[in-house]
């Protein structure tokens, strides 16, 4: 079902089981709206069911019904075990344990501050600073960083054999890959020092003068002082933060970590996915697989099917007349409409199926595995659904 | 296609406004709809600016033109395209309102700007939103269509002027937020368009966003546009006929008549019917979750080749039909 139409790559795998059995961290990334969360959850559920061990899915923004199914409603950062009974209901006896946790950005930032703050007073001052609250709640890149940071924390505890992570939707696919690096850069930046020094000493450093002239006029002195105050507080956590950010980065690049890029075969997401795969390669991060969701079935590209659909559409009148005596639930005109519509619909979907097959064949980046998952006729919203989807990710 | 209910209190027509922010969950076709709206407006004689906020170059692709940048360029008669660049926006702003000679100091300024923008959330957002409001205030265009941030970030963007008002007490930025807020909160001028598809997550996010926009921003929700609505193959009684066609003896008779196994074609129709039905349920949920006063428009799924001007013309035509309702 995978590799159809593709130029038969050498030994390219078409499933995720090998990857899930050998890595400690699998990060699902890619464009929004392609089923990233569901794919991550399905992979984790399947790994727990078939491989055994303790498997955690760390998810960002699951659909409500899926969150319910995993018992994630309103639990924030706490890791919860999906009860075996839920598996039994889904008709599976799991080999291992499935755990699930959601990412709460605000809570994760707060615990990071608690970890790094040198003393209780600084800690409280930071937590109550309006700028901090703004940053931890709204600042987009903070979301990306905290996802990786939280992953690092869980991994360091050594409680799980496999952690499958779903990444937050980013403005730019690269944001979260670069987040640890940027966080480290941010704190070691010379500009940060420029920003802090003058308000500390009340002596305007010559080098920073033009900057202040502009900044003062745009933002106002009061605001700049607030900013400076905030960074002075943050400065006290500098070493801890930078060291941590570097460790997070090392973990991403570790051989035990692999990335899967999830996409559909629609033009825009696929282009973004390819861009993403390239970005991973540029950063020497391991691209374990590309997972293509919502792939239309092969029979839509069957040439005989097309010929037949044309017949149904163009000869609906005579076919309906011949068939009508056999049909009990409708008259000849209804039969004609149904035949014509069936033919037309096939030809419509065929255009899309052909375009998508071509796109798949043209996929420039050849990862170790290319997995395609068929269009599911209904939404995935429970463990049974996840396992059904998971079975498509798995080898034969 | 479901009819638009007639009982609504009158709302400002979508294209009678002058500033439209188009948002939507990733992957629902937000850019396509924004570009389609802009094309439709331009075709109907309105001087239109379309701007991409998270520059991916998709708008340029639709108009079969090279990459756009901060300087608007006419890509089609009456239609200008640009992409947002907050640093360029800052430079333009400084030039216009401070007369600060920044040309020689672009390097350090860029770095400093990056820094302040990182430290003070809202600065980037206000430079984005401010630029559009400026274009509206100066009447450079009849209509500005913004291919805005995705649903996750749009509230932050639209609420930024208010947030800045709360954080920054004095200074030039503060004095700017007042007129920006005036434009944003005037429903005669500004409106938000949420693009969605009839699928679970996009519908959830649309309902949630509609609520947040009402409580956290001063911008009016001007329309919800449902993209990729699948065609209905048959009605209820015809579906019975279809079911019979799939079973013997009728299926055997059909095979004899056409001289080939009809299974793939019938399977495809079955898939199409099921997909349509699942989506109809989400559509129903969407209608219940959105204030009935907000116009809802429907764009058909396009069974076409890759996107480009050809696709865009079809989108613009469908939008036109819906707007005429």
**Of chain A residues 25-64, which have a CB less than 8 A from chain B?**
31-34, 63-64
The dihedral sign for the CA sequence B306, B307, B308, B309 = positive
Contact between residue A204 and residue A194 where contact means Cβ atoms under 8 Å apart: no
Residue tagged 């265009």 (tokens): B141
Contact between residue A292 and residue A263 where contact means Cβ atoms under 8 Å apart: yes
B268 Cβ partners below 8 Å, 6+ apart?
A297, A299, A300, A305, A342, A345, A346, A349
Vertex B225: Cα angle to B319 and B277 (nearest 5) = 105
- Cα-based distances in Å from B235 to A326, B207, B231, B242: 20, 29, 11, 10
The dihedral sign for the CA sequence A152, A156, A157, A161 = positive
Q: Which residues of B touch A33 (CB under 8 A)?
A: 25-28, 201-202
With CB atoms and an 8 Å threshold, state whether B98 touches A217.
yes
- Which residue, among A293, A313, A295, has the nearest Cα to A305 in the 3D structure? A313
Count CB atoms within 10 A of the CB of residue A104. 17
* Residues A276, A280, A282, A284, Cα dihedral to 10°: 180
Distance from first CA to last CA of chain B, Å, rounded? 12
Q: What is the pLDDT of residue A35?
A: 87
Complex-level ipTM: 0.85
Which of A348-386 are b and which e, b meaning 16 or more Cβ less than 10 Å from the residue's Cβ? bbbebbbbbbebbeebebebebbbbbbebeebbbbbbbb
Contact between residue B258 and residue A312 where contact means Cβ atoms under 8 Å apart: yes
With CB atoms and an 8 Å threshold, state whether A131 touches B167.
yes
- Nearest neighbour of A330 by CB, restricted to B241, B271, B307: B241
**Chain B interface includes A206 (CB < 8 A):** no
| Tokens (6 digits) for B144 | 């500005």
Q: What is the pLDDT of residue B1?
A: 42
The SS3 call for residue B20 is strand
Specify the DSSP class assigned to residue A301. Answer: G
- pLDDT string in tens for chain A (396-residue length): 444 444 444 456 889 999 999 999 999 988 888 888 899 999 999 999 999 999 999 987 777 777 877 777 766 678 899 999 999 999 999 999 999 988 877 788 888 888 888 889 988 888 887 677 666 554 445 667 777 888 898 999 999 999 999 887 665 556 667 776 776 676 666 656 666 665 555 444 444 556 666 666 666 666 667 767 777 777 777 777 778 888 888 999 999 999 999 999 988 888 888 888 888 988 899 999 999 999 999 999 999 999 999 999 999 999 999 999 989 988 999 999 999 999 999 999 999 999 999 888 888 666 778 898 988 767 788 899 999 999 999 977
B12 CA to chain A: closest CA distance, Å? 31
Q: What is the pLDDT of residue B110?
A: 58
Q: Which residues of A touch B253 (CB under 8 A)?
A: 322-323, 326
For B176-232, the pLDDT digits (tens) are 788 899 999 999 999 999 999 999 889 999 999 999 999 999 999 999 999 999 999
Distance from first CA to last CA of chain A, Å, rounded? 11
d(CA A309, CA A320): 14
Strand extents, DSSP E, B178-291: 190-196, 221-229
Number of H helices, E strands in chain A: 18, 8
- pLDDT string in tens for chain B (325-residue length): 444 444 444 577 899 999 999 999 888 999 999 999 999 999 999 999 999 997 677 788 888 888 888 999 999 999 999 999 887 887 787 777 666 555 444 455 555 566 556 555 577 788 889 899 999 999 999 999 999 988 777 888 898 888 777 766 666 667 778 889 999 999 999 999 999 999 988 999 999 999 999 999 999 999 999 999 999 998 888 999 999 999 988 999 999 999 999 999 999 999 999 999 989 999 999 999 999 999 999 999 999 876 788 889 999 999 999 998 7
**Chain B interface includes A191 (CB < 8 A):** yes
Per-position DSSP letters for A167-182, written without gaps between them: PPP-SSTTHHHHHHHH
Question: Angle of helix B123-137 relative to helix B151-167, nearest 10 degrees?
Answer: 90
Cα R_g (chain A), whole angstroms? 27
| Tokens (6 digits) for B252 | 């055997």
With CB atoms and an 8 Å threshold, state whether A223 touches B169.
yes
- Cα-based distances in Å from B150 to A132, B26, B147: 24, 6, 9
């Amino acid at each position: 079902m995978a590799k159809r139409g593709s130029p038969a790559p050498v030994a390219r795998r078409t499933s995720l089981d090998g990857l899930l059995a050998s890595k400690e961290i699998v990060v699902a990334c890619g464009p929004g709206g392609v089923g990233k969360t569901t794919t991550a959850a399905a992979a984790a559920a399947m790994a727990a069911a078939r491989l055994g061990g303790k498997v955690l899915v760390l998810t960002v923004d699951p659909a409500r019904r899926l969150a319910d199914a995993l018992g994630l409603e309103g639990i924030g950062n706490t890791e919860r075990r999906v009860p075996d009974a839920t598996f039994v209901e889904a008709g599976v006896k799991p080999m291992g344990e499935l755990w699930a946790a959601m990412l709460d950005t605000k809570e994760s930032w707060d615990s990071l501050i608690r970890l790094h703050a040198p003393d209780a007073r600084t800690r409280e001052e930071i937590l109550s600073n309006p700028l901090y609250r703004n940053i931890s709640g709204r600042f987009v890149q903070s979301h990306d960083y905290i996802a990786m940071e939280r992953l690092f924390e869980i991994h360091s505890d050594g409680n799980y054999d496999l952690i499958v992570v779903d990444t937050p939707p980013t403005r730019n696919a690269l944001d979260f890959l670069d987040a640890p690096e940027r966080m480290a850069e941010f704190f070691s930046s010379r500009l940060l020092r420029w920003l802090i020094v003058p308000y500390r000493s009340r002596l305007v450093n010559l080098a920073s003068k033009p900057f202040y002239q502009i900044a003062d006029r745009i933002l106002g002195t009061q605001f700049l002082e607030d900013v400076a105050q905030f960074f002075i507080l943050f400065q006290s956590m500098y070493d801890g933060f930078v060291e941590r950010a570097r460790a997070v980065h090392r973990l991403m690049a570790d051989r035990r970590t692999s990335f899967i890029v999830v996409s559909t075969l629609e033009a825009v997401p696929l282009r973004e996915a390819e861009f993403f795969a390239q970005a991973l390669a540029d950063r020497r991060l391991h691209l374990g697989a590309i997972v293509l969701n919502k792939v239309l079935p092969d029979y839509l590209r069957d040439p005989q099917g097309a010929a037949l659909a044309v017949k149904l559409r163009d000869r609906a009148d005579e076919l309906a007349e011949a068939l009508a005596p056999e049909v009990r639930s409708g008259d000849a005109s209804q039969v004609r409409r149904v035949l014509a519509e069936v033919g037309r619909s096939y030809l419509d979907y065929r255009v899309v199926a052909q375009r998508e097959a071509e796109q798949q064949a043209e996929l420039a980046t050849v990862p170790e595995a290319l997995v395609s998952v068929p269009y599911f006729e209904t939404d995935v919203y429970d463990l049974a659904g996840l396992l059904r989807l998971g079975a498509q990710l798995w080898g034969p | 296609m479901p009819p638009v209910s007639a009982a609504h209190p009158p709302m400002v027509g979508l294209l009678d406004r002058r500033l439209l922010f188009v948002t939507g969950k990733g992957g629902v076709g937000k850019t396509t709809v924004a570009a389609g709206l802009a094309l439709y407006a331009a075709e109907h004689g309105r001087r239109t600016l379309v701007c991409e906020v998270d520059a991916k170059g998709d708008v340029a692709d639709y108009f079969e033109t090279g990459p756009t940048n901060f300087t608007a360029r006419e890509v089609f008669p009456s239609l200008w395209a640009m992409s947002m660049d907050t640093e360029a926006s800052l430079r333009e702003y400084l030039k216009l309102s401070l007369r600060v000679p920044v040309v020689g100091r672009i390097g350090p300024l860029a770095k400093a700007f990056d820094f302040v923008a990182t430290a003070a959330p809202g600065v980037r957002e206000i430079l984005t939103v401010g630029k559009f409001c400026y274009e509206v205030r100066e009447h450079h265009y009849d209509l500005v269509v913004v291919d805005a941030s995705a649903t996750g970030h749009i509230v932050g963007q639209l609420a930024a002027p208010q947030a800045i008002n709360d954080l920054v007490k004095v200074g030039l930025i503060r004095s700017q937020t007042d007129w920006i807020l005036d434009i944003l909160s005037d429903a005669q001028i500004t409106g938000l368009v949420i693009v969605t598809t009839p699928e679970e997550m996009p519908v959830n996010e649309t309902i949630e966003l509609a609520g947040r926009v009402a409580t956290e921003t001063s911008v009016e929700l001007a329309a919800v546009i449902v993209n990729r609505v699948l065609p209905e193959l048959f009605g209820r009684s015809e579906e019975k006929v279809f079911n019979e066609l799939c079973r013997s003896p009728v299926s055997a008779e059909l095979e004899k008549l056409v001289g080939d196994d009809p299974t793939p074609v019938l399977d495809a129709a079955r898939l199409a019917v099921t997909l349509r039905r699942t989506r109809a349920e989400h559509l129903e949920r969407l209608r219940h979750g959105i204030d009935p006063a907000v116009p809802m428009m429907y764009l058909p799924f396009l069974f076409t080749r890759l996107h480009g001007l050809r696709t865009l013309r079809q989108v613009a035509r469908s939008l036109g039909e819906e707007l005429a309702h």
